[in-house]
Amino acid sequence: MTFIMEYSDLILEGLWITVSLLIISFIFGFILSIFVALSRLSHYKIIALPAFIFTSVIRGTPLLVQIYIYYYGLGEVFAKMPGIRSSFLWPYLRDGYWYVAFALIVSTAAYWGEVIRGGLLAVPKGEIEAARAFGMSAFKILIRVRLPRAIYILTPTLAGETILLLKSTALASTIAIMDLLGAAQRFRSITLEVYQPLLTVAAIYLLITLLIEHLFKRVENRIPTRG
Amino acid sequence: MHESLYLLGFSENGWGPALLKGTWITLQISFGGFLTGLLIGLITASAKLCRFKSLQMIANGYSTLCRAVPELLLIILFFYGGSSLINAVAQRIGFEDFNVAGLPVAILVLGLVQGAYASEIFRGAIQSVHPGQIEAAQAYGLSQKKIFFRITLPIMAPNALAGLSNLWVYIIKDSALISVVGTSELLHIAKQAGGSTKEYLLFFGAAAVIYYLITLISSYFLRILETYLRRWQPKH
């Protein structure tokens, strides 16, 4: 067990990067995905079609390719832009972390957009009619009835999706970011051990997964259900 | 940009042939991994549904681990762990260091990851077969094997197919992760091309288009297949 002590700083730092990526992409991806879902459900083709194309393309291509397109592709374009290296944006544009965060937010928006669209369609018609009978505006109905109801219906699905998101954060290590997997890779190359670092980090991922499931269960239990 | 497009072509400096070859390897890895995953999934699902507690526990542990741990970590673990294991065994029985070839290892690794998901799909699909239908077959005196091939399999197939089509699309995308351990599939080639021409956007864009086309075309055919398998099911 001594090796864990020796590399605990590396692992803790990796844990922080993994968790922060998870939280950032969870929050912003979730907000964006509501817009994607609403656009997909729009009666106007001009709004619904771009959202459909967005979801289809993002879900139809590997996340790793998307990360490479942003990091190497756009990174190269940014680097060639005049004046950008001296601007305040450069520290962010140089750092791979923000490219991965961006990629995760965009992909979360696409995957969850579809999930939330399904949830919005699953809200019982009677509840929306009741809200309308109370004279609520379409916007109020959305905020007070449709969205909360859809999210309640979806809590088990969202738990699964959050775990998939956690696993996607590991792709950060492919562009040399020291997230959990990156830390494992680093100390694999220092110690030339294969199993120990990777299995240690696998156990941490497993623990975070259990924690996510537990948190979602608590949210689910707070929601009153019949029976 | 447009003058660099010739880099994608088949002329002297074009990367077209290399990209096509990478696509072919991606398809091989995906297809091989998918079939391996189906096999592992079927075995794991039967272990989950069998009478023996220890087999159930092993099967559940494997699928929980594979579904909670990032695919990339599993790929690295199975790839390096697997190849050093094979080397250790090879040395023990007196062989020289064994160069583990990329393609079969990639297929096995993706198959192991997919097997965990496939086992859950099969378990659900097998449980969706009404027990009365199995009992009826037993009453006719069909053997266990015959019951599986003539009753369980055809009834569960359309139910499993929807989940399996998702898995097929996942494995195409997961195959891109294999580039990290250095098998020259599509993304690996695109990265090499981008590195040597400094046209990253062009080559990763091209790779994205190819992956997208593969997923689009296969989803189309899988939809047709599912309709076909469901043709005798009662319409709701």
CB B177 within 8 A of CB B71: yes
pLDDT the model gives residue A2: 64
More confident residue, A92 or A62: A62
Range(s) of the domain holding residue B146:
15-230
More confident residue, B20 or A75: B20
% of chain A beyond a pLDDT of 90: 54
DSSP symbols for B159-212: HHHHHHHHHHHHHHHHGGGGGGGT--SHHHHHHHHHHHHS-HHHHHHHHHHHHH
Q: How confident is the model at residue A6 (pLDDT cuts 50, 70, 90)?
A: confident
One-letter amino acid of A133: A
Q: What is the pLDDT of residues A134-182, one digit of tens each?
A: 999 988 999 899 999 898 888 888 998 999 999 999 999 999 889 999 9
pLDDT the model gives residue A9: 84
Judge whether B7 lies within some domain: no
Inform me whether the C-beta atom of residue A191 falls under 8 Å from chain B C-beta atoms. no
Judge whether B168 lies within some domain: yes
Judge whether B5 lies within some domain: no
Judge whether B235 lies within some domain: no
> Tokens for B19?
């990209």
Judge whether B211 lies within some domain: yes
CB contact under 8 A, A69 and B204: yes
Judge whether B80 lies within some domain: yes
What single-letter DSSP state applies at residue A88?
T
Residue whose structure tokens are 């007070």:
A144
For residue B169, report the phi and psi dihedrals to the nearest 5 degrees.
Answer: -65, -40
pLDDT the model gives residue A220: 81
- What is the residue-averaged pLDDT of chain A? 88
pTM of the model: 0.86
As a whole number, mean pLDDT of residues A118-130 equals 90
pLDDT the model gives residue A156: 85
| Closest residue, chain B, to A18 (C-alpha) | B70
- ipTM for this prediction: 0.86
Inform me whether the C-beta atom of residue B82 falls under 8 Å from chain A C-beta atoms. no
Q: Which of A106-120, A149-163, A213-227, B187-201 has the highest mean pLDDT?
A: A106-120
Per-residue pLDDT of chain B (236 residues; tens, 9 = 90+): 566 766 777 666 777 888 888 899 999 999 999 999 999 999 999 898 888 888 999 999 998 888 889 999 988 888 887 777 777 777 777 666 555 667 888 888 899 989 999 998 998 888 888 888 889 999 998 988 888 888 888 888 888 888 888 899 999 999 999 988 878 889 999 988 888 888 888 899 999 999 999 999 999 998 888 888 777 776 65
Residues of A in contact with B30 (CB under 8 A): none
Residues of A in contact with B215 (CB under 8 A): 60-61
pLDDT the model gives residue B183: 81
pLDDT the model gives residue B10: 67
As a whole number, mean pLDDT of residues A190-198 equals 83
> Could you tell me the CATH number of the domain that includes residue B156?
1.10.3720.10
CB B39 within 8 A of CB B47: no
CB A39 within 8 A of CB A116: no
Residues of B in contact with A163 (CB under 8 A): 67-68
CB B175 within 8 A of CB B190: no
Phi-psi region of A192 (alpha: psi -120 to 50; beta: other; left: phi over 0): left
Q: Could you tell me which residues come within 8 angstroms of residue B164 by beta carbon, excluding any fewer than 6 positions away? A: B38, B118, B121
CB contact under 8 A, B72 and A170: yes
Q: Could you tell me which residues come within 8 angstroms of residue A17 by beta carbon, excluding any fewer than 6 positions away? A: A97, A172, A177, A178, A179, A180, A182
Q: How confident is the model at residue A8 (pLDDT cuts 50, 70, 90)?
A: confident
As a whole number, mean pLDDT of residues A4-8 equals 75
Preferred mutation among B66, B204, B212 to probe A, highest tally of A CBs within 10 A: B204
The domains of chain A, with CATH numbers, are 1-222 (1.10.3720.10)
More confident residue, B225 or A84: B225
pLDDT the model gives residue B205: 92
pLDDT the model gives residue B131: 87
CB A199 within 8 A of CB B91: no
> What does the alpha-carbon distance between residue A172 and residue A17 come to, in Å, rounded to a whole number?
9
pLDDT the model gives residue B127: 84
Q: How far is A170 from chain B (nearest CA, A)?
A: 6
- How many domains does one find in chain B? 1
DSSP symbols for B93-154: TTPPP----HHHHHHHHHHHHHHHHHHHHHHHHHHTS-HHHHHHHHHTT--HHHHIIIIIHH
Judge whether B8 lies within some domain: no
Preferred mutation among A18, A58, A65, A72 to probe B, highest tally of B CBs within 10 A: A65
Q: How far is A143 from chain B (nearest CA, A)?
A: 32
